[in-house]
Amino acid sequence: MLILLILVVTLAVVFGVADIRRNLITKPVFTVFKKILPPLSDTEREAMEAGDVWWDGELFKGKPDWQQLHSFPKPELSADEQAFMDNQVETLLGMLDDYKIVQEQRDLPVAVWDYLKREGFFAMIIPKAYGGREFSAIANSTIVSRIATRSLTAAVTVMVPNSLGPGELLMHYGTQQQKDFWLPSLANGTDVPCFALTGPEAGSDAGGIPDTGVVCKGEFDGKEVTGIRLNWDKRYITLAPVATVLGLAFKLYDPEKLLGDKEELGITCALIPTSHKGVQIGDRHFPMNMAFMNGTTYGKDVFIPLDWIIGGPDYAGRGWRMLVECLSAGRGISLPALATATGHLAARMTGAYGYVRQQFGMSIGKFEGVQESLARIGGLTYSLEAMRVMTAGAIDMKLSPSVVTAIAKYHMTEMSRTLMNDAFDIHAGRAIQVGPKNYLAHGYMGIPISITVEGANILTRNLMIFGQGATRCHPYVLAELEAAANPDAEQGLKQFDSLLLKHIGFAIGNTFGALWQGLTAAAFNSAPVSGETARYYKQLSRMSRALALSADFSMLILGGELKRREMLSARLGDVLSQLYIASAVLKFYEDNGRQQCDLPFVHYSVQRALFEIGRAFAGFFANFPNRVVARVLKTLVFPFGIGYKMPDDATAIQICEALSKPGVVRDRLTHLCYIGADENDATGLMENAFVTMYEAQPLMKKIYQAQREGKVARKQPLDKTIAQALEVGVLSEAEAQQLNRMNTLRFSAISVDSFKPGALEAQTPNADAA
């Protein structure tokens, strides 16, 4: 007892007396900290400081406030936005023939271009004061998703002007004169924008662009002015071949110091009319053979005035910060919208096809091998819709959650890749034959584009989600880095001293908390709800604590090396991501009134997320270089082993049953999927065949009964079976007609396109469009 008392008093003195603590604890730790976690570079600092910490910060705390999650407003369309969906969007969908657009015309028809411009599809983010629609992020997302289920080319064409580009940059950073000049013409479609960032030498490393601008004197409008002489070579620029105004990112230099004392000013963004002398556009790419406009732009010794810099001369060198802050639209709205559209289309059509297509005398959707893939499609689609809504909702809260949008971009595009592969497996030959009846092929071709753009998925997962998230979302690390970088060493030490005590308390709390929750399987954690989903909140809180603990140990042991151990850090990023996915699913379930029929999808989504968390932690512990620390961490977090499992077969079967019959559940899950009114439309044909077959089941049961009784022969074509059933009085004339129509639709729906000799050669692309 005496020894224990002395120890307690000693610790109290060491940690409680500021001067003693700073000399014995803080200074040595501060010195080590500066070595293992070197100060951020200017580029890294700008990336870290850009945007907002949102729900991701709660997940990193180790004790998420679930009431806060539930308090976030439910994203909903306004009356004007819903009217636009019901009228302009539906009119547009009726104008689109995606097969002709991609395979024959290689461009949107002129009438579609005119309609998009006239009806403000390119002006969804522009304020009404400038003639725009001023729609919310959730409306932007919903509109793009709906269009994408009909035509990826049209969706990308609409999406780009409302994403990272001149319009968004002008609204955030443009001078009043720039806004007044450009925004009205962008809103009414007189001007078509593109934004050029990527080049041959700079893809994911956007900060390494070689394109340059040099501040100098030159002639503009017959006068000598101070301006910029530009040289650039860009590629992969969407809408470039048809753009009238070019947003350009380049590195700006001022060797004559005409703007100040610095020679290297940094990345800068300017707005340039494509008609300006020296600007070259027009060469075209064909990403995965899709027909949306994408191409190159370059210029040599192009002189522009300084006031063409977005934001004016005061924003020279501030382009990187502008770009990082505005990337949230592309990562948080556009690409998640495309991924979700893939889910809506694949879930609805694959459920229908699984019912319509028969083998061995029964619908293929009854085979458990097919059901395993179909359940994955349904479960991932529910997760995608939940993430789409929650992420767009954050942007509508006037936030720019950079880590969350990176999570959405990576995981949603990967989910769409997974479920589209499943859809192809189930459709088999029906999916691989390209033609007017094929509703999957173009979406399948377009998935690698989403995987690649706005930061390649490998980069996003391995560097951004945890690399940025660990520093940005951690309660103390970013502030500690700032203290370490303080040029006033004494002031930095004081800041660090205050943070260190809190960080130590945070780490100790997470250590004992993780062990307690592991030993009790989180049974004593609180949940904001009762019922079947309560256990999920408890487990997610437990895994949040485990993430905070593992992140602290990783940064302590590996320091700056953690940044280079990408496979290791990416696994912690996966934990953070799956926590976000599960949170979005639970929030979505609550916002939609806790529908009982949604529970199979909720169970599947959250259980899958927990399984992925367990798998990520298993890989992290197995590969952590300090084996002693790895064993300690694994024991603390999972003292009895990792017990998370994938959803069981019963849950999968429930999802399949919901997707394999007409009803409210199927309609709500796939509400954005376009269904053509014409029976000859690809989706309309499959949907009509599916509904007709489902409605005809009572009549088919009469035939099956007659076959068992020997009145009607077995193992003959269905049309002959129907005729015989009519002849022997099993069916009435009207019933036989109904079944014959069903059989005609069924056969047409499972058939694939074929082309007569010479037919494809006649489909020469429009020369002007190409």
Cα–Cα–Cα angle for 412, 417, 420, rounded to 5 degrees: 120
Q: Is the pLDDT of residue 302 over 60?
A: yes
Question: What long-range pairs does 561-567 form, CB within 8 A, spacing at least 24?
Answer: 561/36, 562/470, 563/467, 565/625, 566/462, 566/463, 567/462, 567/623
Residue 730's pLDDT is what? 94
Query: Strands 264-273, 193-196: parallel, antiparallel or unpaired by DSSP?
Result: unpaired
Could you tell me the pLDDT band of residue 464, with boundaries at 50, 70 and 90?
confident
- Please tell me the least confidently modeled range out of 29-38, 331-340, 729-738: 29-38
Distances (CA, A) of 276 to 184, 212, 218, 273: 20, 17, 15, 5
Q: Rounded to whole angstroms, how far apart are CA atoms 548 and 324?
A: 26
Q: Is the pLDDT of residue 184 over 50?
A: yes
Every domain of the chain and the residues it spans:
30-50+61-68+461-648, 79-187, 193-309, 696-750
Q: Rounded to whole angstroms, how far apart are CA atoms 187 and 196?
A: 20
Q: Can you give the C-alpha Rg of the chain in angstroms?
A: 30
Distances (CA, A) of 310 to 165, 247, 319: 11, 9, 9
Average pLDDT value for residue range 10-33: 62
Nearest one of 184, 234, 229, 169 to 206, comparing CA atoms: 234
Q: Rounded to whole angstroms, how far apart are CA atoms 547 and 531?
A: 26
Q: Residue 581: phi, psi to the nearest 5?
A: -60, -50
Task: Specify whether domain 79-187 bears CATH 3.40.50.2300.
Answer: no
Kindly tell me the number of DSSP H helices and DSSP E strands found in the chain.
34, 9
Here the tokens at position 576 are: 């953070």
CB atoms within 10 A of CB 760: 11
Distances (CA, A) of 314 to 172, 229, 268, 307, 696: 14, 18, 11, 9, 70
Q: What pLDDT digit, counting tens, does each position of 122-180 carry?
A: 999 999 999 999 999 999 999 999 999 999 999 999 999 998 788 989 998 999 999 99
Q: Rounded to whole angstroms, how far apart are CA atoms 383 and 606?
A: 9
261: amino acid identity, one letter: D
Q: Is the pLDDT of residue 385 over 50?
A: yes
Annotation says 385 is catalytic:
no
Q: What pLDDT digit, counting tens, does each position of 505-531 carry?
A: 888 898 999 999 999 999 999 999 999
Residue 610 in contact with residue 546, Cβ under 8 Å? no
Q: Is the pLDDT of residue 404 over 80?
A: yes
Q: What pLDDT digit, counting tens, does each position of 493-508 carry?
A: 777 777 777 787 888 8
Catalytic one of 81, 168, 454, 480: 454
Q: Is the pLDDT of residue 309 over 80?
A: yes
Instruction: Give me the torsion for CA of 381, 382, 386, 387, rounded to 10°.
Output: -40
- What distance, in Å, lies between the first and last C-alpha atoms of the chain? 87
Residue 138 in contact with residue 385, Cβ under 8 Å? no
Q: What pLDDT digit, counting tens, does each position of 219-253 carry?
A: 999 999 999 999 999 999 999 999 999 999 999 99
Find where tokens 């014409």 sit.
Answer: 678
Residue 340 in contact with residue 409, Cβ under 8 Å? no
Here the tokens at position 598 are: 């949604």
What average pLDDT does the chain have?
A: 90
Q: Which residues make Cβ contacts (< 8 Å) with residue 57, sequence separation at least 6?
A: 473, 475
Nearest one of 14, 18, 8, 2 to 498, comparing CA atoms: 18
Could you tell me the pLDDT band of residue 288, with boundaries at 50, 70 and 90?
very high
The CB-side HSE value for 653 (13 A sphere, CA atoms) comes to: 6
Please state the pTM of the whole predicted model: 0.92
Q: What dotted CATH number matches 193-309?
A: 2.40.110.10
CB atoms within 10 A of CB 671: 13
Residue 19 buriedness (CB in 10 A; 0-12 / 13-18 / 19+): exposed
Average pLDDT value for residue range 322-343: 85
Residue 518's pLDDT is what? 95
Q: Which residues make Cβ contacts (< 8 Å) with residue 194, sequence separation at least 6?
A: 160, 165, 166, 237, 238, 239, 240, 243, 245, 246, 247, 297
H/E stretch holding 432: helix 429-432
Cα–Cα–Cα angle for 106, 112, 118, rounded to 5 degrees: 145
Q: What pLDDT digit, counting tens, does each position of 428-459 carry?
A: 999 999 999 999 999 999 999 999 887 788 88
523: amino acid identity, one letter: A
Secondary-structure breakdown of the chain: helix, strand, coil percentages, each rounded to the nearest 5: 65, 10, 25
Nearest one of 294, 328, 348 to 125, comparing CA atoms: 328
Question: What long-range pairs does 495-503 form, CB within 8 A, spacing at least 24?
Answer: 496/26, 496/29, 496/30, 496/33, 497/18, 497/21, 497/22, 497/26, 500/25, 500/26, 500/29, 500/30, 501/15, 501/21, 502/475, 502/476, 503/475, 503/476, 503/552
